[in-house]
Amino acid sequence: MSGRLQGKVAVVTGGASGIGAGTVRRFVSEGARVVLADLDAQRGELLARELGDAVRFQPTDVSLEPDVARLIDVAVAQFGRIDCLFNNAGLGGVSGSIDQTDLGEAYQRTIGVLLTGPILGMKYAAPVMRAQGSGSIISTASVAGTAGGMGPHVYSALKAAVINLTRSVALELAPFRVRVNAICPGGIATHIFAPGFARAGLPEGANADVPELMRPALARMQPIPRAGEPEDIAAMAVFLASDEASFVSGQALVVDGALTAGRPRDPERGTMVAQAYQEAARRSAGKPD
Ligand code: NAD
């Protein structure tokens, strides 16, 4: 225990699984007390019980205003303050080609969780933090919000929205020393990929070890040759929640094993430009490709 969050109080949404659960564990190990919020009461209660008095579970649907208002009230009533709000709950949501995109209930649900959720979290945490004159709001965006091709269309649009929401709210709250940042994870081994197993015709991953099944594929996705883990994102969340980040606000911090750094270098043939030179040289020498 190094105590980087000693005495701090955090609210973590989507805290029952994956990145959220990894962050709850890490926050507690750093000395924080945490209100763990999630739709999944079974897993939420279980983790809260395992971690003891430092954690309280609050059943919450982040897309519903009364739930989020209650969550913030409960945190203040229980622990007296809120130093960090981690808007992390999420799902893959509607997917498929643009002409097949369903604009019905699943679409509304996706917007509700991925965009309304962070807006509601900010709306209700801001007055508490403003009155304290301190606080750190963190939202889990994604590399899919920074470029195309890394997630479903609607998911990518909403994660980009979270990044700009972060900047916008950071400017409003900066005079009160309330910081607002986003983390953009790359491929992290979690249960978020479970519905994809069903779409691929495999048994839904509810009972399978989806993170374990995904690790080898995720390891091949980016230049650092391993899957991202919840602990990688938790480490960035600890930094942003801590006083070490007191001058960091309005930013989207990418944690992705160099996935978005550029086109990967081919170990045999070098960079993209080196390959272009080689091809041009071959052509000028009249050699076939
Ligand atoms: P996960 O499925 O393991 O965890 C998501 C948690 O959110 C679950 O416990 C789920 O019950 C909860 N949740 C879903 N809807 C909710 C709602 N309406 N209210 C409250 N809780 C709700 O997935 P994860 O990968 O840990 O996802 C966490 C965040 O990270 C999400 O915002 C996701 O978009 C983002 N993200 C994940 C990856 C990745 O590769 N895993 C990459 C980039 C961003």
Q: Please determine, for residue 198, whether its predicted confidence score (pLDDT) is greater than 90.
A: no
Task: Give the per-residue pLDDT at 1.
Answer: 47
Mean pLDDT throughout 8-12? Answer: 99
Let me know how long the chain is: 289
- Cα 89 to ligand 1 centre (Å): 4
Mean pLDDT throughout 9-21? Answer: 98
Q: 């009461």: which residue's tokens?
A: 41
75, 55 in Cβ contact below 8 A?
no
- CA distances 92 to 1, 66, 111, 134, 227, Å, are 34, 24, 11, 32, 18
Per-residue confidence at 209, pLDDT binned at 50, 70, 90?
Answer: confident
Task: Give, for ligand 1, the residue of 119, 188, 212 to mutate: max count of ligand atoms closer than 8 Å to Cβ.
Answer: 188
pLDDT tens, residue by residue, 77-109: 999 999 999 999 999 999 999 999 999 999 999
Task: Give the per-residue pLDDT at 223.
Answer: 95
Per-residue confidence at 202, pLDDT binned at 50, 70, 90?
Answer: confident
Mean pLDDT throughout 223-252? Answer: 98
Task: Give, for ligand 1, the residue of 140, 158, 165, 226 to mutate: max count of ligand atoms closer than 8 Å to Cβ.
Answer: 140
User: Where does residue 4 fall: left (phi above 0), alpha (psi -120 to 50 degrees), or beta otherwise?
Assistant: alpha
Q: Please determine, for residue 2, whether its predicted confidence score (pLDDT) is greater than 80.
A: no
- Round to whole Å and give the CA distance between 150 and 4: 33
Q: Which two tokens stand for residue 141?
A: 């965006």
Which H or E run includes 213?
Answer: helix 210-219
Q: Which of 240, 152, 165 is nearest to 193 (CA)?
A: 152
Query: Can 155 be counted among the known catalytic residues?
Result: yes
- Round to whole Å and give the CA distance between 82 and 127: 10
